[in-house]
Amino acid sequence: MTTKEAVARALPVQDARIYPRGGLDVLSRAEVARLRDASSGGMHELLRRCALAVLTSGSASDDPRAARDL
């Protein structure tokens, strides 16, 4: 048995989707401001990716240029 097979057997992959409930589905202005303030620590990239995910949810593409047309 290869290492890859052993890992696959020991750690089965689960298919799951996680969605926020209630107040967690939208960031408040204060939360966005905190993320922007922390941009020097790498949070800017996280905020950009989260915003892109929100803008393209339900879309077949995650192209940021396509998000402008939504």
Residue 12 inside a domain? The answer is no
Residue 32 inside a domain? The answer is yes
> According to the model, what pLDDT value does residue 20 have?
61
* pLDDT tens-digit profile, the chain (70 residues): 787 777 667 766 677 676 666 655 577 788 777 767 665 666 777 777 788 877 777 777 767 676 666 5
Residue 6 inside a domain? The answer is no
> According to the model, what pLDDT value does residue 56 have?
76
Residue 10 inside a domain? The answer is no
> According to the model, what pLDDT value does residue 19 have?
65
For residue 68, what are the domain limits? 23-70
Query: For the stretch 8-30, what's the b/e string if a residue is b when 16 or more beta carbons lie within 10 angstroms of its beta carbon?
Result: eeeeeeeeeeeeeeeeeeeeeee
Domain count, the chain: 1
> According to the model, what pLDDT value does residue 15 have?
73
